[in-house]
Structure 1
Amino acid sequence: MKSSLWHGLQQWVTRLFPASYRWPALDIRLGDRRLHLTGSIHMGTRDMQPLPAGLLRQLQKADALVVEADITQGESPFTGVETAPPLATRLEPAALQQLTALCETLSLSLSLFDHLPFWQIALMLQAQQAQRLGLRPQYGVDYQLLQAAKSAGKRIIELEGPDTQIALLKSLPQDGLALLLDTLTHWHTNARLLQTMISWWLDAPPARQPVRLPGTFSSELNDTLMRNRNQHWRDLLQALPPGRYVVAVGALHLYGDDNLPALLKQ
């Protein structure tokens, strides 16, 4: 009886005070599946390399690494993307003026984007912003984890894969116009959000939930790019075979409304 009460107390304490790490992560147990759920930044700064020793020990103990997509594969995800009509025929004058001004600020030629779908323009602008903040793909958390997992002979499990991610972007209404407009509208907010996520890795992750984050997506986009994907990932993670897993997904999926940890604990 005492043992049962003590076990119950331990579980209660664990729920109230989950294991804390100096990187954004938490441990979740789903029956016979143990997940070390880590919030990744897809592009990182030089001082984010190497990864914390504690995270690499988690990977050594794991049966597999779970990522959104294996980004170490060589082919560009934009290969085969169809060209679009000129921007002047697709964008409202105010949005075109806003994009032109941003290109001038970034010292980019507007012609670079003239025949690209809106979603691709948005991603390229976001990549430019990250680079100007000192972030590089080779220092990204999931990239480093993938390299370490492959060196250790660990199994790699993709939640989506690059093809699925591109298909999702191609499925956005109006070629992803809302994603481009949100990128332009929330340009400075997104920069602050990137800096916040960097601080989660270099300084300390947020200690308390819920974390209120500035909105950089419209409601419809948030459903498509965050909430619906979190729900799909929850189902995939719950269906994993018994074992230990390090799971690396974008850090924003760990926080905010309908975040992945909350869905897994339901």
Structure 2
Amino acid sequence: MIKSLLSKALLLIPFISHHALAEPIVWKIYDNHRQFYVLGSIHAGEKEMFPLPQAFLSQWKKADALVVEANILQHSAPATQNKKPPYTQETLNNEQLEKLKTIAESLSLPYKLLTSQPPWLTATYLQLTLAKQLNLSTDQGIDYVLLKRAEEQHIPIKSLESVEYQLNLLQNLPHNGNGMLLETIDHWQQTKASLQCLVDVWKQGDSEKFTTLFNDTQYDPETNEALIFARNRHWAETLTQSPDYQSGRFMVVVGAFHLIGEQGLPALMKQAGFTVERITKGTTAQCEDWETIRQS
């Protein structure tokens, strides 16, 4: 809250609210030689998510590099998908297949095509199409927008992983990604409400609700380890120990769920001896549909 703002103004100017003063979460993680300004990304977003927090943009002007999960702008041959069995139709029971059929119809996706894909790819199709249905675009994803900006402004781009590595990770999930698919379809209404809520939680910087969303959308332990926690540890090791990051100012943009909890990137870097500070303020996000589903 801006301390100098007169309480009388709050009565006279109705469009000023506490939401206008909230910002997405930005972390400053530093030691004597390097500073990391860390912003969580939503990979498919909307125009209302911009402009980004001033605390982040002010450091952008002095950045030595932008650090992302993978540079999706790199022009390389499309990675080959290894669509190995078992396929979705072989991993789901009849009840689960009926759920998938209903979801596919609601998204205008071809059911038979989905059942002939590996479970990880079926889950990916469902989630990407849901985002599109909710008017979220990958062109408005935080990492995509900042990659384009860095490219235009000739700011060096560093990647923690390659696109090929990420695809290989999905292709080698435990049980071919069946845990990822089951979580998606068994809790579809909650998945949909969670995605709608996520954008508002991100914009308002609501750390408490972020944590609850993260906990509510967990996969099975093996899948979580592969998709989230093992990668967090690898990134923390890279940022703290790689010669590429021993001095300078780095703007780090990774998926927002990688920044949460004791196994999140800020906590891991704090354990490594860095000072960790949140430099933006948030407020409570309103997610009535999601909260109703959680309580039912």
Same topology, TM > 0.5: yes
Other-structure match for 2:233: 231
Q: In structure 1, what residue type is equivalent to 2:93?
A: E
Shift of 1:54: 4.5
Q: Deviations over 1:114-158 (max 9, x none)?
A: 332111111111001111121001100000110111111111111
Question: Deviation of residue 90 (structure 1)?
Answer: 4.2
Stretches of structure 1 lacking an aligned partner (at least 5 in a row): 1-19
CA separation of 1:231 and 1:179: change in aligned 2, threshold 3 A: same
Say yes or no: does 1:186 pair with 2:191: no
Q: Indicate whether 1:161 and 2:162 are aligned.
A: yes
Q: 1:117 to 1:231 in 2, by over 3 A?
A: same
Per-residue displacement from partner, 1:15-52 (whole Å, max 9, x unpaired)?
Answer: xxxxx972221101034120001011100012224444
**8 Å contact 1:46–1:135 — kept in the other structure?**
no
The corresponding residue for 2:40 is: 39
**TM-fit CA distance, 1:197:** 2.8
Q: Residue 216 of structure 1 corresponds to which residue in structure 2?
A: 218
Q: 1:256/1:197 Cα in 2 relative to 1: closer, same or farther (>3 Å)? A: farther
Gaps of 5+ in 2: 1-20, 272-296
User: C-alpha distance in 1, partners of 2:210/2:103?
Assistant: 33
**Percent identity between the aligned chains?**
37
The normalised TM-score by structure 2 is 0.75
- How many angstroms apart in 2 are the aligned matches of 1:237 and 1:91? 40
In structure 1, the residue matched to 2:286 is: none
Match of 2:206 in 1: 206
Match of 2:161, SS state, is coil
CA offset digits 1:94-117 (Å, max 9, x no partner): 222221121122222112223321
The separation in 2 between residues aligned to 1:212 and 1:85, in whole angstroms, is: 33
Q: Distance in 1 between matches of 2:206 and 2:260?
A: 9
Question: Superposed, which structure 2 residues align to 1:39-118 within 5 Å?
Answer: 39-73=40-74, 79-82=80-83, 84=85, 87-118=88-119
Q: Tell me the secondary structure at the aligned position of residue 134 of structure 1.
A: coil
- Which range moved further: 218-227 or 147-156? 218-227
CA contact (8 A) 1:234 1:263 kept: yes
Q: Distance in 2 between matches of 1:210 and 1:101?
A: 29
Any conservation in 2 of the 1:29–1:35 contact (CA below 8 Å)? yes
Residue 187 (structure 1) shift = 2.2
Q: Identify the residue that residue 255 of structure 1 maps to in structure 2.
A: 260
Q: For residue 137 of structure 1, what is the aligned residue in structure 2?
A: 138
Query: What SS does the aligned partner of 1:28 have?
Result: strand
Whether the 8 Å CA contact 1:23–1:205 is kept in 2: the answer is yes
- State the one-letter code of the partner of 1:226: I
* 8 Å CA contact retained: 2:201, 2:209: no
Once residues 101 and 209 of structure 2 are traced to their aligned partners in structure 1, the CA distance between those partners, rounded to angstroms, is 39
> Which range is displaced more, 249-258 or 116-125?
249-258
Instruction: Return the offset for 1:180.
Output: 0.9
CA distance in 2, matches of 1:86, 1:22: 42
Contact 1:230 1:258 in 2 (8 A): yes
Contact 1:197 1:251 in 2 (8 A): no
Q: 1:134 to 1:160 in 2, by over 3 A?
A: same
The change in CA–CA distance for 1:95 and 1:150 in structure 2 (over 3 A counts) is: same
Change in Cα spacing, 1:174 to 1:201, as seen in structure 2 (3 Å) is closer
In the alignment, which residue of structure 2 is the partner of 1:4? none
Contact 1:130–1:194, Cα closer than 8 Å, also in 2: yes
* Count, aligned residues: 246
Question: Which whole-Å CA distance do the structure 1 matches of 2:22 and 2:151 have between them?
Answer: 24
1:148 aligns with 2:149: yes
Q: CA–CA distance in 1 between the matches of 2:144 and 2:183? A: 27
1:244 to 245, 249, 252: 249
Report if the CA contact (8 A) 2:43-2:255 is conserved: yes
Q: Distance in 2 between matches of 1:209 and 1:70?
A: 29
